Amino acid sequence: MSQSQSSLRSVGILTICSFVQLGIQFGIQLVLARQFGTTDEMDTYVAAMSLPTVLSAVLVGSLNSAFLPVYMTCRLNDGEASAHRFSSQLGVWIFAVTALIATVSFLYPEFLMAKLHPGFTEEKVRQTAIIFRFLIWLTITNGLTSFSGVLHHGEKRFRIPAFSGLAGVGLTFSLLFIESYRSTPTGVAQAVLLGSIVCVLLQSKLFLSCFSWSRKIHPVIKTFFIRWSPIIIASLLVQIGELVNRSLASGKAGSISELGFAWRIISSMQVLMSGFSVVIFPTLSAQHATNQMESFVTEVAHGWRFMAVLLIPICAGLAFFSEPIIRDLFQRGEFTAEDTQKVAFLVVLFLGVLAGSVLGTIAVQTLNALKDTLTPALLAVIVIPISIFFKFQFGNTHSYGVPGIAVVTSLTFLFSVTILVFIIRKRVGKGIFKGLLKTSSVTILSTGIALGLSALVIQLPIRYSALIAAPVGAVSYLLTMWALRNEFAIRMMGYLIRKRPDSTT
């Protein structure tokens, strides 16, 4: 089996798991929308979740990029035992740092929430602090989950992290059927924390089996932190931008909830499309470590084409049908028709974030595989402060508000990924775009057909027409791509019917 076909199979497994997990997460969001809408209660929950999410993203969200090249090089040059000592020391360090941060934050919740959300009243800050005391422990669980996940990926074991994530969100969703958990934001926070703990436990076996402790600091630890430091800086700047979004939105009741619902739609799509970047990075790192640059370029080109096949139809579907999708997903209980219109509009404005982040992940992973973590960090140092300046200009309550935040954020992501792609092209050549134009053309044509069929279904006088139209559009898109002999559609159809893909593709 070729490397591309092997990657596609792993991507298929991860994508299916991501899709199921996405469905469960939407179920959780549906419960939140029904129970709280965009009321003050929802504002407090979204606000309390912001800092744990940011801390997790800064500390371990980009761990994959720095860890895998060092781990795989250590494993290749020094052996498995040495690599396990390195991963053991790093795992203990991550636990210690996240535990310290979570404990200090737990002791000063009202101070932190008041500073981060200046538009909140004293009572709203107090309620947010109560929820925050539960959610801050996600800093530890998310840290351990991320570390365990990249350790599995380093061993090219992709299934356990995928299935453990399913189990975690599945438990959270199940608990929300219990009145005491779903009736208050604090109960929801407890359910989320329990699900996250289960996810950690299910992934812990590999780390425990590989655990090898030594008081002497492993020699590659220094190399790792040198590589990780620029990524931490870049991640910190990006996440400061996210905190600014929440801070600006806190000035108007309901705005932070609207921002939260729209961001959940975008981030869910990011998760759905993240499978390939997870699978491709160990391959790129190994190819660069063994100087297989021709294979490296081929794999990157394969990644761009695959992202085009996923990104174009999803962005088009959200652009044309965001309002009926939000209506069918969330419009019930406390979530009103006005909320639907506002959230749907924000989803469209955030599409630049979706495109920029998905393509940017491939670009950053490519640079990291080339052992360059400095370039993305330098770009962030330049771009993010400018972005924050414009957010204060156009995203405050006296200007365009949350829509202004969304537009500035989207433009920031699109500009950044454009620069990164240009840099990669200069370094490894135009071969990274091989076949992209043809694939994009076929994808656009297939997307147009799928959108037309979906539009017909949405117009039908039936409930949840948009949710029915989504699988109709997906199936018609896949069949059209297959009829037009797209490489990924042919392989996927072969995988679905348990036949070997056509070797000529």
| pLDDT above 50: residue 125 | yes
144 and 206 in contact (C-beta within 8 Å)?
Answer: no
Whole-number pLDDT of residue 292: 64
Task: Determine contact, residues 388/236, Cβ cutoff 8 Å.
Answer: no
Spatial separation of the C-alpha atoms in residues 136 and 114, rounded to whole Å = 15
- Widest CA span of the chain, in angstroms? 69
Other CB atoms within 10 A of residue 40 CB = 19
Which pLDDT does position 505 carry in this prediction? Answer: 36
Token pair listed for 127: 């309620």
Q: Is the pLDDT of residue 158 over 90?
A: no
Quick check: 18 and 105 in contact, CB under 8 A?
no
- The total of other beta-carbon atoms located within 10 Å of residue 483's CB is 12
Q: How many other CB atoms sit within 10 Å of the CB of residue 179?
A: 9
**Angle at CA of residue 389, ends 393 and 349, nearest 5°:** 65
Q: Residue 249: pLDDT above 90?
A: no
pLDDT higher than threshold 80 for residue 358: yes
At residue 493, what is the residue type? M
Give the tens place of pLDDT for each residue, 3-53.
Answer: 445 555 555 666 677 778 878 888 888 899 989 998 899 999 999 999 998
Give the count of beta carbons closer than 10 Å to the beta carbon of residue 156.
Answer: 13
Tell me the one-letter amino acid at 473. Answer: G
Torsion, Cα of 323, 325, 329, 332 (10° steps): 30
Contacts of 434 (CB under 8 A, 6+ apart): 298, 301
Cβ of 176: how many Cβ atoms within 10 Å?
Answer: 21
DSSP assignment letter at 274: -
pLDDT, residue 398, reads: 74
> Mean pLDDT over all residues of the chain?
86
pLDDT at residue 498, as a whole number: 61
The pLDDT, as a whole number, for residue 8 is: 52
Q: What share of the chain is helix, strand, coil (3-state, %, to 5)?
A: 85, 0, 15
C-beta separation of 430 from 422 below 8 A: no
Q: What pLDDT is stored for residue 109 in this prediction?
A: 95
d(C-alpha 71, C-alpha 68), whole Å? 5
Question: What is the distance between the alpha carbons of residues 75 and 82, in angstroms, rounded to a whole number?
Answer: 7
Interatomic CA distance for residues 407 and 400, integer angstroms = 10
The pLDDT of residue 502 is 47
Distance CA 69, CA 224 (A): 9
The confidence band for 504, taking pLDDT boundaries of 50, 70 and 90, is: very low
Q: Are 239 and 58 in contact (CB under 8 A)?
A: yes
Structure token pair of residue 339: 């909320």
Cα–Cα dist 132/138, whole Å:
10
The pair of structure tokens assigned to 120 is 């909140």
Query: Minimal CA–CA distance to 150: which of 345, 53, 282?
Result: 282
> The pTM is what?
0.77
Q: pLDDT at residue 274 above 80?
A: no
First vs last Cα of the chain: how many Å apart?
13
With beta carbons less than 8 A apart as the criterion, state whether 424 and 367 touch.
Answer: yes
Tokens of 77: 């040059």
Q: For the chain, what is the radius of gyration of the CA atoms?
A: 22
Angle at 350 between CA 52 and CA 38, to 5 degrees: 60
Q: Residue 500: its pLDDT value, please?
A: 47
Q: pLDDT digits over 203-217, tens only?
A: 988 888 888 777 788
Closest to 356 measured CA to CA, from 311, 305, 300: 311
